[in-house]
Structure 1
Amino acid sequence: MSEVKPKMQYVNLGKSGLKVSKIILGCMQYGSGQPWMIPDHDEGIKQLKYAYDIGIN
């Protein structure tokens, strides 16, 4: 059985003509050195790939 992926909604970014996803992925939490960061490189890549696959920009 294949995984059902949510459909991302997009909106216009002002009058720029660009369309952006309604949900964005901030990357401050990726890296190391702070308690709130995700230090595991493989887990970070997994999360970024999933976000890309469902259309988050």
Structure 2
Amino acid sequence: MIVPQEAYPAYLGLDLPAAKSDLFRYCVLFTHGGLWADIDTLPARQSLSPGMDFPASR
């Protein structure tokens, strides 16, 4: 289940499809971790120097 049972009433209470999509994405990120960026999202600056690793943990 992508949307946890605890979040389902909130999902049903949302009227706008965009709000439902946002909640869905938040649930995926909460469950699996990661980063979400829309296609029109640009970085404000380069965060990693060339050759640097990006360590992450869960």
- Measured against the shorter chain, the TM-score band is 0.3 to 0.5
Structure showing greater relative contact order (alpha-carbon pairs closer than 8 Å, 6 or more residues apart): 1
Structure with more strand by fraction: 1
